[in-house]
């Protein structure tokens, strides 16, 4: 019986690994033809693909710089909004809040994580964007800032629940030692708990940035989808995920455009893979500290 | 107790699976009694063709039609590859596609099935009522960025359009931005790409400085909150509106186009029944109006019906 259970669970675990391998294979095998074709295409080549600032698939011009910068601009702005709020929330919930308040706040934040992203997208598109248009006096409220605010709201629950775990994992003995030396609650938190949990908190932040980079529905609905190179947060941008989502449904299978979409998917995959590995490395350092 | 719950759960799951299989097999059997006709292509036409197919399938005892989107180009490619019986397209076949068809031994037969006017819409608050094609091109290629450059209020222009795989995007690029012709320009990269007509309509309803292009059916839905602009071919010509049925039908409105169905060879049997239904006055041509497009003028309709033999 034990052996059977072991075997079944092994297969189940194996399937998830197999799925990863298959996804990666699909990406590579579909992206490769685009890299091969780049060499034969007069309009574009690999260098133009990576650094070209014009994304115009209908004329076979595939510079993904506007898309990469779009993703980075929205994610960076979202992080700048989400990090202070997320860390503040975590500190308040884990160290300051009365247990009754915590009993309400914590589930509330966890529910935020369970709301489907399309609902956030609708909220940004229909409710938030008119305010952004009127407050900042721009032509349209569907822009990078709109997407960034909605992404930040999606990042906060991940950040809070992961960094709260990190803070809770700081051994009780450390806090007690600090109190014994006469430090108050604020001093203990600032000088003992936060530094001890720092790598866990940083890992939480990085993982939530990974979420922002890979998010599709919200950026698709909120940022306006203009594939332009811009650093202005009030301009409309198109993210890599949006370009894939918008075009893949109607693109002719096997065309250069089709393969380029997979190439973008691969670059996106490398982005999030790198982000997750950095988070893992930092978290690994942290888990060794108090063993 | 736990075990009982588990058995109950297994029983429920088993019942659901068996019921599902039974329903699935049942519907399969029904479908097998009818000859299946497949049609793939334009998304602009998707809703129209689905409405036609629904009525046709309910009436016909021998044929069942299924419609898929994917874009005009996809439909024509599939027709050439022999993967669909009919292709729907919101633009005529290109010469490259026609050549590709003949090398594959496919004789593409074209049927005009409806007329569509691309309406240029602005927010109801905007005072601009008329644009020339040149002005429209300069707005969409980013030369003009403020409405006061075309005689309107001091208000930044916000561009809305479709995504590059859309037939409407390509049509607008050819007719307004003159792609591949002298004086061609490109879409401004600030244009906000929307995935459907409905999205463009609701954004133009929201933003005071917005301009967008949609099928005339959608423009009618937005009447009251969006304005449909009059379009002039040039400074001196008469301005026409997409809501003016006659102007669209006789193509004096610059942005009117036919919607097409393509078959491989002159259709026979089930495919012929389907095309005949789409062209019929009481069938497809009535639904065309319901879907927001314009029906064929009767001369063109007769010409198309005679093509069926």
CA distance B168 to A36: 31
CA distance B276 to B272: 6
B208 contacts in chain A (CB < 8 Å): 139
Q: Indicate if the pLDDT at residue A178 is higher than 50.
A: yes
Give the mean model confidence (pLDDT) for residues A38-63.
78
Beta bridge partners, B112, equal B260
B173 contacts in chain A (CB < 8 Å): 58
Strands B108-123 and B210-215: antiparallel
Phi-psi region of B193 (alpha: psi -120 to 50; beta: other; left: phi over 0): beta
Contacts of A143 (CB under 8 A, 6+ apart): A129, A132, A223, A224, A233, A234, A235, A236, A237
3-state helix, strand, coil in chain A (%, to 5): 80, 0, 20
For B58-84, what is each residue's pLDDT tens digit? 998 899 999 988 778 888 888 998 889
Q: Is B164 on the interface with A (CB under 8 A)?
A: yes
DSSP classification of residue B156: B
Q: Indicate if the pLDDT at residue B268 is higher than 80.
A: yes
Contacts of B8 (CB under 8 A, 6+ apart): none
For B290-307, what is each residue's pLDDT tens digit? 888 999 999 999 999 999
Q: Do B203 and A142 touch (CB under 8 A)?
A: yes
Of B169, B194, B206, the CB nearest to A58: B169
CA distance B41 to B297: 24
Min Cα–Cα distance to chain B from A186, Å: 48
Q: What residue segments make up the domains of chain A, in order of their start?
A: 2-289
Give the mean model confidence (pLDDT) for residues A277-285.
84
For B216-229, what is each residue's pLDDT tens digit? 888 888 888 999 99
Stretch among A258-272, B28-42, B260-274 having the lowest mean pLDDT? B28-42
- Is there a contact between B121 and B159 (Cβ–Cβ < 8 Å)? no
Instruction: Give me the pLDDT at residue A243, please.
Output: 93
Chain A interface disruption, residue of B91, B158, B202, B208, most A CBs within 10 A: B158
Of B163, B187, B189, the CB nearest to A246: B163
Higher pLDDT, B52 or B91: B52
How sure is the predictor about A209, in pLDDT bands with cuts at 50, 70 and 90? very high
Instruction: Give me the pLDDT at residue A291, please.
Output: 45
Q: Indicate if the pLDDT at residue B32 is higher than 60.
A: no
Higher pLDDT, B3 or B235: B235
Q: Indicate if the pLDDT at residue B165 is higher than 90.
A: no
Q: Indicate if the pLDDT at residue A39 is higher than 70.
A: no
CA distance B166 to B172: 10
Three-state secondary-structure class, residue A290: coil
Three-state secondary-structure class, residue B1: coil
| Residue B219 vs residues A187, B26, B288: alpha-carbon distances, Å | 64, 42, 15
Min Cα–Cα distance to chain A from B254, Å: 23
CA distance A225 to B128: 26
pLDDT above 70 as % of chain A: 95
Instruction: Give me the pLDDT at residue A195, please.
Output: 87
A60 contacts in chain B (CB < 8 Å): none
- Token duo for residue A97: 């809040």
Min Cα–Cα distance to chain B from A222, Å: 11
CA distance A198 to B47: 55
Q: Indicate if the pLDDT at residue B20 is higher than 70.
A: no
Buried b (16+ CB within 10 A) or exposed e, B190-228: bbbbbbbbebbbbbbbbbbbbbbbbbbbbbeebeeebbb
Min Cα–Cα distance to chain A from B167, Å: 10
Give the mean model confidence (pLDDT) for residues A82-111.
91
Beta bridge partners, B86, equal B39, B263
Q: Indicate if the pLDDT at residue A51 is higher than 60.
A: yes
Q: Is B281 on the interface with A (CB under 8 A)?
A: no
- Is there a contact between A256 and A34 (Cβ–Cβ < 8 Å)? yes
Which range among A253-262, B164-173, B181-190 has the greatest average pLDDT? B181-190
Three-state secondary-structure class, residue B64: strand
Three-state secondary-structure class, residue B306: helix
Three-state secondary-structure class, residue B79: helix
How sure is the predictor about A41, in pLDDT bands with cuts at 50, 70 and 90? low
Instruction: Give me the pLDDT at residue B164, please.
Output: 85
Residue B231's H or E segment, with its range, is: strand B230-232
Residue B289's H or E segment, with its range, is: helix B284-290
For A104-161, what is each residue's pLDDT tens digit? 998 898 888 889 999 999 999 999 999 999 999 898 999 999 999 999 999 999 999 9
For chain B, the straight-line distance linking the first and the last C-alpha, in angstroms and rounded, comes to 73
Q: Indicate if the pLDDT at residue A232 is higher than 50.
A: yes
Q: Do B193 and A225 touch (CB under 8 A)?
A: yes
Q: Do A252 and B69 touch (CB under 8 A)?
A: no
ipTM: 0.83
Q: Do B163 and A225 touch (CB under 8 A)?
A: yes
CATH architecture of A2-289: Orthogonal Bundle (1.10)
Q: Is A5 on the interface with B (CB under 8 A)?
A: no
- Stretch 187-226 of chain B: residues touching chain A, C-beta under 8 Å: 187, 189-195, 203, 206-210
Q: Is A121 on the interface with B (CB under 8 A)?
A: no
DSSP classification of residue A224: B
Strands B63-70 and B35-41: parallel
């Amino acid at each position: 019986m034990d052996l059977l259970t072991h075997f079944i669970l092994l297969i189940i675990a194996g399937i998830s690994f197999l799925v990863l391998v298959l996804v990666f294979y699909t990406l590579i095998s579909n992206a490769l033809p685009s890299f091969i074709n780049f060499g034969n295409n007069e309009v574009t080549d690999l260098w133009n693909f990576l650094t070209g600032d014009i994304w115009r698939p209908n004329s076979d011009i595939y510079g993904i710089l506007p898309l990469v910068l779009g993703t980075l601009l929205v994610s960076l702005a979202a992080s700048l909004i989400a990090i202070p709020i997320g860390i503040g929330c975590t500190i308040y919930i884990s160290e300051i809040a009365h247990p009754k308040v915590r009993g309400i706040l914590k589930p509330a934040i966890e529910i935020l994580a369970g709301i489907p992203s399309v609902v956030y997208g609708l909220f940004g598109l229909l409710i938030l964007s008119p305010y952004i248009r009127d407050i900042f006096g721009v032509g349209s409220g569907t822009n990078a800032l709109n997407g960034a605010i909605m992404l930040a709201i999606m990042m906060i629950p991940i950040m809070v629940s992961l960094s709260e775990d990190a803070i809770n994992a700081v051994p009780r003995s450390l806090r007690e030692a600090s109190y014994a030396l006469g430090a108050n609650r604020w001093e203990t938190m600032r000088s003992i708990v936060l530094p001890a949990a720092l790598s866990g908190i940083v890992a939480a932040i990085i993982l939530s940035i990974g979420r922002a980079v890979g998010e599709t529905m919200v950026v698709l609905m909120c940022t306006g989808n203009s594939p332009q190179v811009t650093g202005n947060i009030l301009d409309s941008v198109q993210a890599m995920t949006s370009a894939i989502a918008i075009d893949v449904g109607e693109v002719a299978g096997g065309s250069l455009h089709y393969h380029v979409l997979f190439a973008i998917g691969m670059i996106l995959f490398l982005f999030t893979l790198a982000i997750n590995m950095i988070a893992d490395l930092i978290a690994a350092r942290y888990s060794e500290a108090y063993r | 107790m736990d075990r009982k719950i588990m058995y109950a759960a297994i029983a429920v799951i088993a019942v659901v699976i068996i019921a599902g299989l039974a329903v699935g097999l049942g519907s399969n059997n029904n479908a097998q009694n009818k000859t299946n006709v497949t049609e793939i292509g334009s998304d602009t036409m998707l809703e129209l063709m689905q409405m036609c197919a629904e009525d046709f399938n309910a009436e016909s005892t021998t044929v069942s039609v299924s419609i898929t989107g994917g874009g005009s180009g996809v439909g024509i490619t599939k027709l050439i590859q022999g993967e669909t019986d009919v292709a729907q397209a919101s633009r005529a076949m290109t010469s490259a596609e026609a050549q590709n068809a003949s090398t594959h031994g496919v004789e593409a037969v074209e049927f005009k099935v409806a007329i569509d006017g691309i309406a240029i819409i602005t927010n109801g608050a905007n005072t601009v009522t008329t644009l020339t094609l040149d002005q429209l091109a300069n707005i969409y290629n980013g030369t003009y960025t403020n409405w006061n450059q075309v005689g309107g209020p001091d208000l930044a222009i916000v561009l809305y359009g479709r995504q590059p795989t859309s037939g409407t995007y390509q049509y607008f690029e050819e007719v307004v931005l003159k792609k591949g012709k002298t004086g061609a320009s490109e879409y401004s990269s600030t244009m906000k790409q929307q995935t459907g007509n409905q999205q463009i309509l609701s954004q133009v309803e929201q933003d005071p400085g917005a301009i967008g292009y949609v099928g005339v059916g959608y423009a009618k839905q937005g009447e009251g909150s969006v304005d449909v602009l009059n379009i002039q071919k040039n400074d001196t010509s008469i301005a026409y509106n997409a809501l003016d049925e006659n102007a669209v039908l006789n193509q004096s409105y610059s942005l009117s186009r036919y919607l097409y169905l393509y078959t491989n060879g002159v259709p026979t049997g089930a495919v012929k029944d389907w095309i005949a239904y789409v062209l019929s006055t009481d069938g497809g041509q009535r639904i065309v109006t319901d879907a927001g497009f314009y029906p064929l003028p009767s001369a063109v309709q007769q010409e198309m019906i005679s093509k069926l033999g």
